[in-house]
Chain A
Amino acid sequence: MFLFQLSSHTNTAGGPAGGAGPDGLILVGELLVVTAYLIVAGVLFYLALKRDDKERRRVMLLFGFIGLMGGAVHLLNIWGGPAAGDAQLILRLIFGVLALIAAIRLFKAIPGLLAIPSLNQLTRANSKLQEQVEERKKAEAALRETQQELEQRVRERSAQAITANRELEREIENRKKTERRLISTNYELIKKNADLDDFVYYASRDLKGPVLNVAGLVEAIREELPTDNPELGQLFAHLDDSVARINRKLNNLAEVSRIQKPISEEQLGMVSLTEVLDQVKESLREPLQDSGALLRADFTAMPEIYFSRDNLISLLNNLISNSIKYREPQRPLHIFLSSELQDRYAVLKVQDNGIGMDLNRYGQQLFSLFRRFHDHVEGSGIGLYIIKRIMDNNNGKIEVQSVLGEGTTFLLYFVHHEQHTGARV
């Protein structure tokens, strides 16, 4: 293109250059200007080609175009000179208009160009950004620190939790062990109780034979010996008494072991209190007569009780025997039996005017096995124990009221059952 311009210039230079000297200089100046314009336009186009942002590319292209137009106008100066025809003038006009259009277009690009930050702005923004980045980094560092702290705390807490958990597990394990120990202790106790029951039963059973033999042998010896020796008579009396006592104790033990056996359903039924009392009165006829006891009974409020007949006999037998044993010798013995319904209990009351007892002193041990509080009468210390066991075994209870010197009242509470049906209320 430059060569063409040169050649075209040489071609056309003949006219004006041939005219005057300054014309040649003008031509060279024009040529330089065209060259500069074209170089500028080329650079701008090149830059527009390389730039990737739309705004600048457009501006570069417009500037390049204007440069190109400028170059073209100056080129027309070289080519045509002052003698150029109308065509040249028209071309100049077109180029000028095009350049103006481009320049006007350039105006439109101003806001876009203004929007493009300057290097200073960028630097400032950059430094600001860097500051922000720094701050972010600091914040991040602080955050990390906090996080680490938190993690540390979480770890510590977890460690604490794990420790606590282990302690808890140990505690649970300990409790389980204790529980197992308790269960085994309980089992042992049940077994020991059963062993004791068995022992009482077998001891009373197996000792009875030899004791009876001794009694029989004492009798046989008595028959073989002369009867006229008073000293022997005294010895035999003591021997008889001792043997009888052993025998009684064994019978008591046998009775204790008997009531410890659970009662079967068949033994339970509606039992008439009057009938049972008659039976007991019969078996206690002798002591009742000897003591001159006045025995009255009123079972109209509650004539029957759902219970084991044998047990009821044992209860009345023991209570009436007690009233006889612990009667006040200064006054005639009165025993009064009555029954009534109280809430869910059938209550049997045995009241006497005997010597009474100090419940504050003896109440705690009243129902203990082999506990005795008097020595003026023969007793085994099992009567009240048996009563208590019988009531306990049947979900009942026993209460005692007593005034020293005035008398004693025993209250037996039986679980109440509807008459005849046997259904529990």
Chain B
Amino acid sequence: MKKLKGILLIDDDDTNNFLNHRLLTRMQVAEKIREFRNGKQAFDYLYNISQGHYDTASSEYFKPALILLDINMPVMDGFEFLSLFEKLDESFRKDVVLALLTTSEHSQDTERAAASSIAYLTKPLTTEKVQGLLEEHFPEFRS
């Protein structure tokens, strides 16, 4: 089975990160998974990678193929992260899939997600939801 190069989990809820990390590990869909507690930490990390400011030998640094992003977070929330992310190089962004993962079913949030044409998943993350996301955005996972 194919595996994604890496997945970033951006959520201020450690337990949720832990559960999602566990689920993804068990599904064996990614080589590497990294967690961030808010948009700012994640963006700084991605910015350094896009600029090549990282130790290529370190397994800590990798360019993710998929980012699962919570909306409500302290310091920098999901939508702020999105607007910054869109300022990164097109060449860097083009093979990164972003998906909002949130408890919010608030129309305000779903509409914003629809406007920025990114995937929108409601918690809890399940095997089915991950499978659906991968099949939709990654041809190699289509059966």
Q: Which residues of A contact B (CB under 8 A)?
A: 205-206, 208-210, 212-213, 215-217, 220, 254, 258, 310
Given the known interface contacts A216-B124, A254-B105, the answer about A209 and B19 at a Cβ–Cβ threshold of 8 Å is no
B106 engages A212 (CB within 8 Å) = no
Given the known interface contacts A205-B72, A220-B19, the answer about A213 and B13 at a Cβ–Cβ threshold of 8 Å is yes
Given the known interface contacts A205-B72, A217-B19, the answer about A212 and B107 at a Cβ–Cβ threshold of 8 Å is no
B123 engages A205 (CB within 8 Å) = no
Residues of A within 8 A of B13 (CB): 209-210, 213
User: What CA separation (Å) do A205 and B71 show in the bound complex?
Assistant: 11
B107 engages A213 (CB within 8 Å) = no
Residues of A within 8 A of B48 (CB): none
List, sorted by A's number, 25 A–B pairs whose CB atoms are closer than 8 Å.
A205-B103, A205-B104, A205-B106, A208-B103, A208-B123, A209-B13, A209-B103, A209-B123, A210-B13, A210-B15, A212-B16, A212-B123, A213-B15, A215-B124, A216-B15, A216-B16, A216-B124, A217-B15, A217-B19, A220-B19, A220-B22, A254-B105, A258-B106, A258-B107, A310-B107
Closest to A204 in B: B103
State the Cβ distance, B119 to closest chain A Cβ, in Å.
Answer: 18
* Chain B 114-143 interface mask (CB, 8 Å, partner A; 1/0): 000000000110000000000000000000
Q: Which residues of B contact A (CB under 8 A)?
A: 13, 15-16, 19, 22, 72, 103-107, 123-124
Consensus secondary structure, chain A interface: helix
User: What CA separation (Å) do A279 and B133 show in the bound complex?
Assistant: 25
Residues of B within 8 A of A205 (CB): 72, 103-104, 106
Residues of A within 8 A of B72 (CB): 205-206
User: What CA separation (Å) do A322 and B135 show in the bound complex?
Assistant: 39
Residues of A within 8 A of B123 (CB): 208-209, 212
Q: Specify which of B16, B104, B105 is in contact with A213 (CB 8 Å cutoff).
A: B16
User: What CA separation (Å) do A206 and B16 show in the bound complex?
Assistant: 13
Residues of B within 8 A of A208 (CB): 103, 123
Residues of B within 8 A of A254 (CB): 105
User: What CA separation (Å) do A215 and B126 show in the bound complex?
Assistant: 12
Residues of A within 8 A of B107 (CB): 258, 310
Residues of B within 8 A of A216 (CB): 15-16, 19, 124
State the Cβ distance, A179 to closest chain B Cβ, in Å.
Answer: 37
Residues of B within 8 A of A220 (CB): 19, 22
Closest to B70 in A: A209
Residues of A within 8 A of B16 (CB): 209, 212-213, 216
State the Cβ distance, A312 to closest chain B Cβ, in Å.
Answer: 15
User: What CA separation (Å) do A124 and B95 show in the bound complex?
Assistant: 139
Interface centre among B13, B15, B103, B104 (most CB of A within 10 A): B103
Closest to B124 in A: A212
State the Cβ distance, B44 to closest chain A Cβ, in Å.
Answer: 24
State the Cβ distance, A419 to closest chain B Cβ, in Å.
Answer: 27
Closest to B104 in A: A205
Closest to B103 in A: A208
State the Cβ distance, A248 to closest chain B Cβ, in Å.
Answer: 14
User: What CA separation (Å) do A212 and B70 show in the bound complex?
Assistant: 14
Closest to B72 in A: A205
B103 engages A212 (CB within 8 Å) = yes
Closest to B108 in A: A261
Residues of A within 8 A of B19 (CB): 213, 216-217, 220
State the Cβ distance, B124 to closest chain A Cβ, in Å.
Answer: 5
User: What CA separation (Å) do A213 and B123 show in the bound complex?
Assistant: 9
Interface centre among A209, A254, A310 (most CB of B within 10 A): A209
State the Cβ distance, B9 to closest chain A Cβ, in Å.
Answer: 13
Residues of B within 8 A of A215 (CB): 124
Q: Which are the 6 A-B pairs with shortest beta-carbon distances?
A: A208-B103, A216-B19, A213-B15, A212-B124, A212-B123, A209-B103
State the Cβ distance, A272 to closest chain B Cβ, in Å.
Answer: 21
User: What CA separation (Å) do A258 and B104 show in the bound complex?
Assistant: 11
User: What CA separation (Å) do A213 and B11 show in the bound complex?
Assistant: 13
User: What CA separation (Å) do A217 and B106 show in the bound complex?
Assistant: 25
User: What CA separation (Å) do A215 and B15 show in the bound complex?
Assistant: 11
State the Cβ distance, B136 to closest chain A Cβ, in Å.
Answer: 22
State the Cβ distance, B103 to closest chain A Cβ, in Å.
Answer: 4
Closest to B23 in A: A216
User: What CA separation (Å) do A205 and B16 show in the bound complex?
Assistant: 15
Closest to B125 in A: A216
Residues of B within 8 A of A209 (CB): 13, 16, 103, 123
User: What CA separation (Å) do A208 and B16 show in the bound complex?
Assistant: 12
User: What CA separation (Å) do A206 and B12 show in the bound complex?
Assistant: 12
Residues of B within 8 A of A210 (CB): 13, 15
User: What CA separation (Å) do A254 and B109 show in the bound complex?
Assistant: 14
User: What CA separation (Å) do A213 and B16 show in the bound complex?
Assistant: 6
Residues of A within 8 A of B15 (CB): 210, 213, 216-217
State the Cβ distance, B15 to closest chain A Cβ, in Å.
Answer: 4
User: What CA separation (Å) do A206 and B123 show in the bound complex?
Assistant: 12
Residues of B within 8 A of A217 (CB): 15, 19
Closest to A254 in B: B105
Residues of A within 8 A of B22 (CB): 220
User: What CA separation (Å) do A217 and B16 show in the bound complex?
Assistant: 9
